Amino acid sequence: MHPILASRTRIAFYLGFWTLVALLLAVAYASASPASGAEALVIAVPLVVIYGFICLSAWYVCRATPLSLAGIGRVVVTQLLASGVATALWLPAWEGWAYTFLGPFDQAVANYRSQLPLVVSSGVLLYASAAMFHYVLIAAEASQAAATRGFSLEVMAREAELKALRAQIDPHFLFNSLNSISALTTTDPRGAREMCVLLAAFFRNSVRLGNEDEVALEQELEMVGNYLDIEKIRCGPRLSTTVEVGPGCGSCLVPPLILQPLVENAVRHGIHSLTGGGHVEVRASCQDRTLVLRVENPFDAEAVRQRGAGVGIANVKQRIRALYGKHADLRTSSGEGLFRAELHLPCHGAPGTTPT
């Protein structure tokens, strides 16, 4: 369907434009002939509006000879031929209209016939103007279609990036956990068996929640608790933890497994580097519609940086950048033997909840 005919608003604007053209042509017609203003209006206005609908055919001619593919010579010749055909179809309408409504007024008919050159030239110019308008319309639609395709490709690329980033989490954690189980099999077989059970439960939940785009914070913290339980078996009394959730924050939606890399970083590169172990704190609070998730741990500032340190933090930064853009942030700081990772996310709740 012609794009102008697809909307009543567009049709109204189109008719308004051609009515204005008809009034201008009526003025020119009256000025160039002895016809009165009333005669010029009666002749010109209906016929120019009709010609406006004939000029809709320029859309199909322009589509058949696109500027980007057809040469300028072909475009000019095609449009001249089309304007000639359109004007040839228009002239019988003028003739019939003059004889039907102005037949009794011989002088008016004579005035019309004396202005045939003006009618013909006007028809050609109006069709050429319609062709230029349709070329602009086609270009605008092509630009909009390209923008839509670009947006779709951007969304697909973002989804692919998120899937790739999320896929990095489970293998990374699994590798570390299997190393821990391997270390415990000789020193603490019972702990190794218990860790296997906890690890199976962790991955069962991660598969369930990992298929979701967002999960409630309380579910995410439950996964964090499962992970810390696994690490407590490995570290024993060297690891103690605190998990606190501010009022109304538990229902806030967060990306699944967004906290686990930060907590894993705190344990692996913080607690494991200390002979006496340490305390890991995980706190959640809501401030001005922003969810703040803080993970804090002690670390040995003089310890040699381990391979893979910072991978989890980089992963989280990429995920929140892809999901929330500038509306989310991950800030890290260290000082006085403490390392802090503070995650700022938009605070929005699940349907039926009102996080504060």
Nearest to 237 by CA among 192, 193, 198, 279: 279
Q: What pLDDT, on a 0 to 100 scale, did the predictor assign at position 173?
A: 63
Question: And the tokens for 88?
Answer: 């040839």
Answer whether residue 174 shows pLDDT above 50. Answer: yes
Inside any domain, residue 170: no
Q: What pLDDT, on a 0 to 100 scale, did the predictor assign at position 280?
A: 94
Q: What pLDDT, on a 0 to 100 scale, did the predictor assign at position 355?
A: 46
pLDDT band at 354 (very low <50, low <70, confident <90, very high): very low
Backbone angles phi, psi at 355, to 5 degrees: -65, 145
Inside any domain, residue 154: no
Q: What pLDDT, on a 0 to 100 scale, did the predictor assign at position 113?
A: 63
pLDDT band at 26 (very low <50, low <70, confident <90, very high): confident
Q: Are residues 195 and 336 in the same domain?
A: yes
CATH of the domain at 199: 3.30.565.10
Inside any domain, residue 165: no
Q: How far apart are CA 284 and CA 120, in angstroms?
A: 78
Q: What pLDDT, on a 0 to 100 scale, did the predictor assign at position 87?
A: 85
Inside any domain, residue 246: yes
Q: Are residues 127 and 7 in the same domain?
A: yes
- Greater confidence (186 vs 39) lies with 186
Q: What pLDDT, on a 0 to 100 scale, did the predictor assign at position 158?
A: 59
At which of 98, 122, 149 does a domain end?
A: 149
Inside any domain, residue 251: yes
Share of the chain above pLDDT 90, in %: 13
Q: Are residues 53 and 105 in the same domain?
A: yes
- Greater confidence (346 vs 32) lies with 346
- Greater confidence (43 vs 297) lies with 297
At which of 149, 167, 198 does a domain end?
A: 149
Nearest 10 degrees: Cα torsion 188, 193, 194, 197: 160
Q: What is the mean pLDDT of residues 183-212?
A: 80
SS3 332: strand
Q: What pLDDT, on a 0 to 100 scale, did the predictor assign at position 34?
A: 63
Q: What crossing angle do the helices spanning 217-235 and 260-269 adopt, rounded to 10°? A: 20
SS3 for 140-154 is HHHHHHHHHHHHHHH
Q: How far apart are CA 36 and CA 313, in angstroms?
A: 83
Q: Are residues 199 and 332 in the same domain?
A: yes
Q: How far apart are CA 296 and CA 340, in angstroms?
A: 4
Q: What are the C-alpha distances in Å from 195 to residues 20, 97, 177, 281?
A: 82, 94, 8, 22
Q: How far apart are CA 208 and CA 169, in angstroms?
A: 14
Inside any domain, residue 145: yes
Q: What pLDDT, on a 0 to 100 scale, did the predictor assign at position 351?
A: 43
Q: What pLDDT, on a 0 to 100 scale, did the predictor assign at position 352?
A: 42
Q: Are residues 77 and 204 in the same domain?
A: no
Answer whether residue 206 shows pLDDT above 90. Answer: no
Inside any domain, residue 162: no
Q: Are residues 205 and 135 in the same domain?
A: no
Q: Are residues 141 and 62 in the same domain?
A: yes
> What's the number of domains the chain is made of?
2
Q: Are residues 19 and 133 in the same domain?
A: yes
Q: Are residues 220 and 128 in the same domain?
A: no
Q: Are residues 128 and 241 in the same domain?
A: no
90-140: pLDDT as tens digits: 877 777 776 666 555 455 556 556 667 777 888 888 888 888 888 888 888
Q: Is 201 exposed, middle or buried (0-12, 13-18, 19+ CB in 10 A)?
A: middle
Inside any domain, residue 114: yes
45-83: pLDDT as tens digits: 888 888 888 888 888 888 888 887 777 888 888 888 888
Residue span of the structural domain in which 44 resides: 3-149
Supply the pTM of this predicted model.
0.53
pLDDT band at 329 (very low <50, low <70, confident <90, very high): very high
141-160: pLDDT as tens digits: 888 888 878 767 766 665 66
Q: Are residues 192 and 340 in the same domain?
A: yes
